[in-house]
Amino acid sequence: MAFTGIMRPGHVQLRVLDIDEALTHYCDNMGLIETDRDDQGRVYLKCWDEIDKFSVVLEPSDRAGMDHMAFKVATEQDLSRFESRVKDFGVETSRVPAGELNGCGERISFIAPGGHRFDLYAQKEQIGNSIPTTNPSPWPEGIKGMKAIRFDHCLLYGNDHDETVRFFTEALDLDLAEQVVDGDVQIAAFLSCGYKAHDIAFIRHEEPGKLHHASFLLGSWEQVLRAADIISMKDIPLDVGPTRHGLTRGMTIYYYDPSGNRNEVFAEDSYRYPDSPVLTWEADNVGQAIFYHSRVLVDSFMGVVS
Protein backbone atom coordinates (compact mmCIF):
# COMPACT_ATOMS: atom_id res chain seq x y z
CA MET A 1 0.00 0.00 0.00
CA ALA A 2 2.73 2.46 -0.96
CA PHE A 3 1.81 5.86 -2.33
CA THR A 4 1.91 4.75 -5.94
CA GLY A 5 -0.95 4.28 -8.33
CA ILE A 6 -3.99 6.03 -6.86
CA MET A 7 -2.56 8.28 -4.15
CA ARG A 8 -5.51 10.14 -2.63
CA PRO A 9 -8.76 12.00 -3.21
CA GLY A 10 -7.98 15.03 -5.34
CA HIS A 11 -11.17 17.05 -5.54
CA VAL A 12 -14.94 17.02 -5.53
CA GLN A 13 -17.11 19.13 -7.84
CA LEU A 14 -20.38 20.08 -6.16
CA ARG A 15 -23.48 21.52 -7.81
CA VAL A 16 -24.83 24.57 -5.97
CA LEU A 17 -27.97 26.63 -6.50
CA ASP A 18 -26.56 30.05 -5.56
CA ILE A 19 -22.83 30.62 -5.95
CA ASP A 20 -22.66 33.62 -3.61
CA GLU A 21 -24.45 31.79 -0.79
CA ALA A 22 -22.22 28.78 -1.38
CA LEU A 23 -19.06 30.89 -1.18
CA THR A 24 -20.17 32.44 2.11
CA HIS A 25 -20.73 28.93 3.46
CA TYR A 26 -17.54 27.27 2.23
CA CYS A 27 -15.15 30.23 2.58
CA ASP A 28 -16.40 32.35 5.48
CA ASN A 29 -17.96 29.58 7.57
CA MET A 30 -15.76 26.59 6.79
CA GLY A 31 -12.52 28.39 6.02
CA LEU A 32 -11.81 27.26 2.46
CA ILE A 33 -9.84 29.65 0.25
CA GLU A 34 -10.93 30.79 -3.22
CA THR A 35 -8.15 30.26 -5.76
CA ASP A 36 -9.75 30.77 -9.19
CA ARG A 37 -12.89 31.15 -11.33
CA ASP A 38 -13.57 30.12 -14.91
CA ASP A 39 -15.78 31.14 -17.84
CA GLN A 40 -18.34 28.45 -16.92
CA GLY A 41 -19.00 30.20 -13.61
CA ARG A 42 -17.21 27.54 -11.60
CA VAL A 43 -15.31 28.63 -8.49
CA TYR A 44 -12.21 26.79 -7.25
CA LEU A 45 -11.47 26.36 -3.53
CA LYS A 46 -8.82 24.73 -1.37
CA CYS A 47 -8.42 24.01 2.32
CA TRP A 48 -5.60 25.85 4.06
CA ASP A 49 -3.16 22.92 4.36
CA GLU A 50 -3.56 21.63 0.81
CA ILE A 51 -0.74 22.16 -1.68
CA ASP A 52 -2.72 21.67 -4.91
CA LYS A 53 -4.59 24.59 -6.42
CA PHE A 54 -8.04 23.26 -5.54
CA SER A 55 -9.88 20.41 -3.85
CA VAL A 56 -13.45 21.71 -4.21
CA VAL A 57 -15.12 23.08 -7.33
CA LEU A 58 -18.48 24.82 -6.95
CA GLU A 59 -20.58 24.52 -10.12
CA PRO A 60 -23.66 26.75 -10.57
CA SER A 61 -26.66 24.51 -11.24
CA ASP A 62 -30.41 24.17 -10.84
CA ARG A 63 -29.97 21.07 -8.64
CA ALA A 64 -27.71 20.06 -5.79
CA GLY A 65 -25.45 17.02 -5.70
CA MET A 66 -22.04 15.84 -6.86
CA ASP A 67 -20.92 16.31 -10.44
CA HIS A 68 -17.85 14.15 -9.94
CA MET A 69 -15.13 13.13 -7.51
CA ALA A 70 -11.52 12.84 -8.68
CA PHE A 71 -8.51 10.88 -7.45
CA LYS A 72 -4.90 11.86 -8.05
CA VAL A 73 -2.59 9.15 -9.41
CA ALA A 74 1.18 9.18 -9.08
CA THR A 75 2.28 9.33 -12.72
CA GLU A 76 1.04 9.67 -16.30
CA GLN A 77 1.91 5.99 -16.73
CA ASP A 78 -0.46 5.17 -13.87
CA LEU A 79 -3.17 7.19 -15.60
CA SER A 80 -2.87 5.08 -18.75
CA ARG A 81 -2.62 1.87 -16.73
CA PHE A 82 -5.82 2.56 -14.81
CA GLU A 83 -7.59 3.63 -17.99
CA SER A 84 -6.88 0.15 -19.39
CA ARG A 85 -7.97 -1.57 -16.20
CA VAL A 86 -11.24 0.37 -16.05
CA LYS A 87 -11.96 -0.59 -19.66
CA ASP A 88 -11.03 -4.23 -18.98
CA PHE A 89 -13.57 -4.22 -16.14
CA GLY A 90 -16.22 -3.28 -18.71
CA VAL A 91 -16.62 0.40 -17.78
CA GLU A 92 -16.41 2.97 -20.60
CA THR A 93 -13.94 5.83 -20.24
CA SER A 94 -13.43 9.20 -21.88
CA ARG A 95 -10.53 11.66 -21.89
CA VAL A 96 -11.07 15.16 -20.51
CA PRO A 97 -8.41 17.53 -21.91
CA ALA A 98 -5.93 19.33 -19.71
CA GLY A 99 -7.19 22.76 -18.73
CA GLU A 100 -10.91 21.86 -18.79
CA LEU A 101 -10.58 22.50 -15.06
CA ASN A 102 -8.17 25.38 -14.49
CA GLY A 103 -4.78 24.10 -13.42
CA CYS A 104 -5.64 20.41 -13.80
CA GLY A 105 -4.04 18.04 -16.27
CA GLU A 106 -5.73 15.53 -18.54
CA ARG A 107 -8.33 13.40 -16.81
CA ILE A 108 -9.74 9.93 -17.37
CA SER A 109 -13.50 10.05 -16.70
CA PHE A 110 -15.97 7.20 -16.18
CA ILE A 111 -19.26 6.30 -14.54
CA ALA A 112 -18.84 3.66 -11.83
CA PRO A 113 -21.42 0.86 -11.48
CA GLY A 114 -23.30 2.80 -8.75
CA GLY A 115 -23.98 5.71 -11.11
CA HIS A 116 -21.37 8.21 -9.87
CA ARG A 117 -18.88 9.93 -12.15
CA PHE A 118 -15.21 9.68 -11.20
CA ASP A 119 -12.10 11.19 -12.75
CA LEU A 120 -8.44 10.24 -12.46
CA TYR A 121 -5.61 12.69 -13.12
CA ALA A 122 -1.86 12.86 -12.60
CA GLN A 123 -1.10 16.58 -12.75
CA LYS A 124 -2.49 19.62 -10.95
CA GLU A 125 -0.95 23.03 -10.40
CA GLN A 126 0.50 23.42 -6.91
CA ILE A 127 0.24 26.78 -5.14
CA GLY A 128 1.28 25.79 -1.61
CA ASN A 129 -0.31 26.34 1.78
CA SER A 130 1.08 29.82 2.64
CA ILE A 131 3.64 28.24 4.97
CA PRO A 132 7.33 28.34 3.95
CA THR A 133 9.02 25.03 3.18
CA THR A 134 12.03 26.09 5.26
CA ASN A 135 11.46 26.61 8.99
CA PRO A 136 7.68 26.29 8.51
CA SER A 137 5.19 27.61 11.04
CA PRO A 138 2.38 25.26 12.16
CA TRP A 139 -0.38 27.23 10.42
CA PRO A 140 -0.83 30.45 8.44
CA GLU A 141 -2.57 33.53 9.81
CA GLY A 142 -5.99 34.62 8.63
CA ILE A 143 -7.79 31.25 8.40
CA LYS A 144 -11.54 31.76 8.67
CA GLY A 145 -14.40 29.83 10.24
CA MET A 146 -13.98 26.15 10.98
CA LYS A 147 -10.41 26.10 9.61
CA ALA A 148 -10.85 22.98 7.46
CA ILE A 149 -7.45 21.34 6.91
CA ARG A 150 -8.19 19.19 3.84
CA PHE A 151 -10.93 17.64 1.74
CA ASP A 152 -10.93 14.08 3.04
CA HIS A 153 -13.57 11.81 1.49
CA CYS A 154 -17.11 11.38 0.17
CA LEU A 155 -19.83 8.97 1.24
CA LEU A 156 -21.98 7.99 -1.72
CA TYR A 157 -25.31 6.20 -2.08
CA GLY A 158 -25.87 4.09 -5.18
CA ASN A 159 -27.36 0.95 -6.63
CA ASP A 160 -25.31 -2.03 -7.84
CA HIS A 161 -23.38 -1.82 -4.57
CA ASP A 162 -21.53 -5.14 -4.83
CA GLU A 163 -20.29 -4.38 -8.34
CA THR A 164 -19.19 -0.90 -7.24
CA VAL A 165 -17.08 -2.29 -4.41
CA ARG A 166 -15.63 -4.96 -6.71
CA PHE A 167 -14.79 -2.27 -9.27
CA PHE A 168 -12.93 -0.10 -6.76
CA THR A 169 -11.00 -2.98 -5.22
CA GLU A 170 -10.20 -4.91 -8.42
CA ALA A 171 -9.83 -2.19 -11.06
CA LEU A 172 -8.58 0.70 -8.89
CA ASP A 173 -6.69 -1.19 -6.14
CA LEU A 174 -8.46 0.36 -3.13
CA ASP A 175 -8.70 -1.82 -0.01
CA LEU A 176 -11.79 -2.62 2.03
CA ALA A 177 -11.04 -1.15 5.45
CA GLU A 178 -14.39 -1.38 7.26
CA GLN A 179 -17.89 -2.61 6.51
CA VAL A 180 -21.44 -3.00 7.78
CA VAL A 181 -23.12 -6.34 7.04
CA ASP A 182 -26.57 -7.83 7.45
CA GLY A 183 -25.89 -11.54 7.35
CA ASP A 184 -24.23 -12.17 4.00
CA VAL A 185 -25.27 -8.79 2.57
CA GLN A 186 -22.86 -5.88 2.74
CA ILE A 187 -24.72 -2.65 3.54
CA ALA A 188 -21.78 -0.27 3.61
CA ALA A 189 -18.16 -0.37 2.47
CA PHE A 190 -15.36 1.99 3.53
CA LEU A 191 -12.44 1.89 1.09
CA SER A 192 -8.90 3.21 1.46
CA CYS A 193 -6.12 3.92 -1.02
CA GLY A 194 -3.51 4.58 1.66
CA TYR A 195 -3.22 4.69 5.44
CA LYS A 196 -6.42 6.59 6.23
CA ALA A 197 -9.51 4.93 7.67
CA HIS A 198 -11.20 5.54 4.31
CA ASP A 199 -10.93 7.72 1.22
CA ILE A 200 -14.38 6.90 -0.14
CA ALA A 201 -17.39 5.00 1.17
CA PHE A 202 -20.48 3.48 -0.41
CA ILE A 203 -23.92 2.66 0.98
CA ARG A 204 -26.31 0.22 -0.68
CA HIS A 205 -29.22 2.27 -2.06
CA GLU A 206 -32.03 1.85 -4.56
CA GLU A 207 -31.20 5.01 -6.53
CA PRO A 208 -27.96 5.55 -8.47
CA GLY A 209 -25.54 8.42 -8.23
CA LYS A 210 -26.46 10.08 -4.92
CA LEU A 211 -24.22 12.12 -2.60
CA HIS A 212 -24.56 11.59 1.13
CA HIS A 213 -21.78 13.93 2.22
CA ALA A 214 -18.46 15.54 1.42
CA SER A 215 -16.10 15.47 4.40
CA PHE A 216 -13.34 17.77 5.64
CA LEU A 217 -10.68 17.21 8.30
CA LEU A 218 -10.29 19.42 11.36
CA GLY A 219 -7.44 19.42 13.86
CA SER A 220 -9.08 18.15 17.05
CA TRP A 221 -12.27 17.35 18.93
CA GLU A 222 -12.10 20.89 20.28
CA GLN A 223 -12.21 22.16 16.72
CA VAL A 224 -15.29 20.01 16.01
CA LEU A 225 -16.99 21.64 19.00
CA ARG A 226 -15.94 25.05 17.67
CA ALA A 227 -17.50 24.10 14.33
CA ALA A 228 -20.72 23.33 16.20
CA ASP A 229 -20.60 26.82 17.68
CA ILE A 230 -20.20 28.32 14.21
CA ILE A 231 -23.10 26.22 12.89
CA SER A 232 -25.33 27.69 15.59
CA MET A 233 -23.97 31.24 15.30
CA LYS A 234 -24.45 31.30 11.53
CA ASP A 235 -27.79 29.46 11.57
CA ILE A 236 -26.46 26.64 9.38
CA PRO A 237 -28.89 23.71 9.12
CA LEU A 238 -27.61 21.00 11.48
CA ASP A 239 -28.12 17.31 10.76
CA VAL A 240 -26.37 15.35 13.53
CA GLY A 241 -23.71 15.93 16.16
CA PRO A 242 -21.29 16.69 17.53
CA THR A 243 -20.74 13.03 18.35
CA ARG A 244 -18.44 10.06 17.71
CA HIS A 245 -18.62 7.34 15.08
CA GLY A 246 -18.04 3.71 15.91
CA LEU A 247 -17.03 3.23 12.30
CA THR A 248 -13.60 4.85 11.83
CA ARG A 249 -13.74 6.26 15.43
CA GLY A 250 -13.99 9.81 14.09
CA MET A 251 -15.31 12.76 16.14
CA THR A 252 -17.88 14.34 13.85
CA ILE A 253 -20.64 16.80 13.05
CA TYR A 254 -22.94 16.92 9.99
CA TYR A 255 -24.73 19.91 8.50
CA TYR A 256 -25.95 21.24 5.13
CA ASP A 257 -24.69 23.84 2.71
CA PRO A 258 -27.27 26.37 1.40
CA SER A 259 -28.06 24.11 -1.58
CA GLY A 260 -28.79 21.06 0.57
CA ASN A 261 -25.51 19.20 0.08
CA ARG A 262 -24.52 17.57 3.35
CA ASN A 263 -21.06 18.38 4.76
CA GLU A 264 -19.09 16.70 7.51
CA VAL A 265 -16.19 18.03 9.52
CA PHE A 266 -14.39 15.53 11.74
CA ALA A 267 -11.21 14.88 13.70
CA GLU A 268 -9.21 12.05 15.26
CA ASP A 269 -10.01 9.34 12.73
CA SER A 270 -8.45 5.88 12.89
CA TYR A 271 -5.73 4.58 10.55
CA ARG A 272 -4.74 1.34 8.87
CA TYR A 273 -1.70 -0.50 7.51
CA PRO A 274 -1.43 -3.03 4.67
CA ASP A 275 -1.78 -5.91 7.13
CA SER A 276 -4.70 -4.45 9.08
CA PRO A 277 -7.79 -6.68 9.25
CA VAL A 278 -11.12 -5.60 7.77
CA LEU A 279 -13.31 -4.24 10.58
CA THR A 280 -16.92 -5.45 10.51
CA TRP A 281 -20.06 -4.06 12.14
CA GLU A 282 -23.18 -6.21 12.21
CA ALA A 283 -26.59 -4.79 11.31
CA ASP A 284 -27.84 -5.26 14.88
CA ASN A 285 -25.18 -2.78 15.99
CA VAL A 286 -25.49 -0.29 13.13
CA GLY A 287 -26.79 2.44 15.45
CA GLN A 288 -23.63 2.19 17.52
CA ALA A 289 -21.51 1.94 14.38
CA ILE A 290 -22.77 5.27 13.07
CA PHE A 291 -23.52 7.19 16.28
CA TYR A 292 -21.51 5.54 19.01
CA HIS A 293 -22.88 7.55 21.94
CA SER A 294 -26.62 7.53 21.30
CA ARG A 295 -26.62 4.17 19.44
CA VAL A 296 -29.73 5.40 17.60
CA LEU A 297 -30.04 6.07 13.86
CA VAL A 298 -31.33 9.47 12.78
CA ASP A 299 -33.91 9.43 9.98
CA SER A 300 -32.55 12.52 8.21
CA PHE A 301 -29.02 11.15 8.27
CA MET A 302 -30.09 7.88 6.68
CA GLY A 303 -32.58 9.28 4.19
CA VAL A 304 -31.47 12.71 2.92
CA VAL A 305 -29.17 12.68 -0.12
CA SER A 306 -28.48 15.09 -2.95
Catalytic residues: 153, 198, 213, 245, 254, 264
Neighbours of 22 (CB within 10 A): 23
DSSP state, residue 126: B
Q: Concatenated DSSP letters for 54-83? A: -SEEEEE-SS-EEEEEEEEES-HHHHHHHH
Distances (CA, A) of 232 to 16, 40, 148, 222, 227: 22, 33, 17, 16, 9
**Could you tell me the strand order of the sheet in which 175-182 lies?**
238-244, 251-256, 262-267, 210-217, 150-158, 200-204, 185-192, 175-182, 279-282
- The CA-based angle 209-212-257, given to 5 degrees, is 115
Distances (CA, A) of 174 to 5, 66, 148, 159, 218: 10, 21, 25, 19, 24
